[in-house]
Amino acid sequence: MLYFKFDCFHTKLGTMQNTKNPLIFIIEDSIVYKNLIVGYLQSKNFKNIKIFKNGEECIKELPLKPDIIILDYSYDGISGLELMQKVKLEYFGTDFIFLSSQNSVQVAVEIMKLGAADYIEKNEKAPYRLVSSIERLSAITKKEKIQKGLNIGMVGFFIMLFIVIITITLVSIFFHLEM
């Protein structure tokens, strides 16, 4: 069983557009596993899901700007790693969760270093871990949006404070000249 959780990984993550109902792309070539994952995600109220058999199909739908792409490490054609690298060039706001039978620690660590948000081994606990990972990404994105709002608010406050100080200074200079 292989499952990675890095608390410091959020610096590599995209910015999810919709934290309440993220657009999730799933690339899965196994019909049985696809049905298992999609059914479990839908039971947890993730309804905005698009399913693809391979990376090439997924690439055609990228203009929809998915929040999360769930993919395997290896496919026929473009690999999961190649797909992630290609998508990150144009759609840097997309997060990637690898859901793979590949149980090599070295592969998982390399994928995480290259920007994946999570790496989950396909097993009986994978659906639960997948939901947990999506919820963690959503929580991080909400926190980042709140922080960004606070930063914008602080900048606005200081700009207004500066304007008030300049106005008071100019008014006092004007009245001082008239006396």
Residue 27: per-residue pLDDT: 93
What distance in Å separates the CA atoms of residue 154 and residue 20, rounded to the nearest whole number?
26
Q: Lowest mean pLDDT of 40-44, 88-92, 143-147, name the range.
A: 143-147
Position 93 confidence tier, pLDDT thresholds 50, 70, 90: confident
Position 24 confidence tier, pLDDT thresholds 50, 70, 90: very high
Residue 61: per-residue pLDDT: 93
Q: Where are the beta strands (DSSP E) in 28-159?
A: 49-52, 68-71, 95-100, 118-121
- pLDDT tens column, 153-164: 676 777 787 788
| C-alpha pair distances (Å), 174 with each of 77, 164, 165 | 74, 15, 14
Domain ranges of the chain: 3-144
- pLDDT tens column, 56-71: 999 999 999 999 999 9
Residue 105: per-residue pLDDT: 84
Residue 18: per-residue pLDDT: 55
Q: Where are the beta strands (DSSP E) in the chain?
A: 3-4, 24-27, 49-52, 68-71, 95-100, 118-121
Taking residues 24-51, what's their average pLDDT? 92
Distance, C-alpha 58 to centroid of its chain: 17
CATH number for the domain whose boundaries are 3-144: 3.40.50.2300
